[in-house]
Amino acid sequence: MAETYHKVFVYGTLKKGQPNEYFMNMIPSVEYLGTAETRTKYPLIIGGEWNLPMLLNREGEGKTVKGEVYRVDKDALERLDQFEGHPDFYERTEIDVNLTNDDEVLSTVKCWTYFIKDYSEKDVKQEHFSLYDSAGCHGLVYDARENDEHPSQS
């Protein structure tokens, strides 16, 4: 039977050089397709107890968000869902993403991405980022204990 593939846009800790990059590298079927940005704006904040990058599903607010696109098979998508706590913690949703080379747009593709499910009005008012970096000058370093404590693992 032909394998079904999915595209996933990652904007946070799963990106290259970020704290959970290892998780993408652990899944042999995952294939990197390149750099990308959201076609429309969304608020990307760093928040919560563990300084998590959180994309809020409020299209048109915030900034164009930069990240990476990966091709994954069904098994890899299920592993990612579990890791991100879909559908209770992060919620996997399909959005339009522009594949980019430097700032040139190569094509627009539909990708899954993980939006944070619950957030407050206070969260919305936090600084909106265009590019997540755990070691950025914001000083909000990612706390890996998240992976032991967030609801998907309990």
Please, are residues 141 and 135 in contact by the beta-carbon 8 Å criterion?
yes
CA-wise closest residue to 20 among 34, 6, 8, 10: 10
Q: In angstroms, rounded to a whole number, what is the distance separating the alpha carbons of residues 34 and 20? A: 17
Contact code string over 115-154 relative to ligand PCA, x by CB under 6 A = ----------------------------------------
Question: Can you tell me which of 12, 43, 47, 62 binds ligand PCA, judged by CB under 6 A?
Answer: 12
Query: Partners of 92 in the beta sheet?
Result: 114
Query: Residue 84 catalytic?
Result: yes
Contact characters 55-94, ligand PCA, x per CB under 6 A: -----------------------------x-----x----
| Contact flag: residue 47 with ligand PCA (CB under 6 A) | no
| DSSP one-letter code for 39 | S
Rule CB under 6 A: say whether 36 interacts with ligand PCA.
no
Residue in the shown chain whose Cβ atom is closest to ligand PCA: 12
Select which of 61, 84, 127, 146 is catalytic. 84
Q: How many CB atoms lie within 10 A of CB 59?
A: 14
CB 43 within 8 A of CB 56: yes
User: Is residue 114 involved in binding ligand PCA (CB under 6 A)?
Assistant: yes
CA 136 to chain centre: 17
- Residues contributing to the site for ligand PCA (CB under 6 A): 10-15, 52-53, 84, 90, 114
Catalytic residues: 84
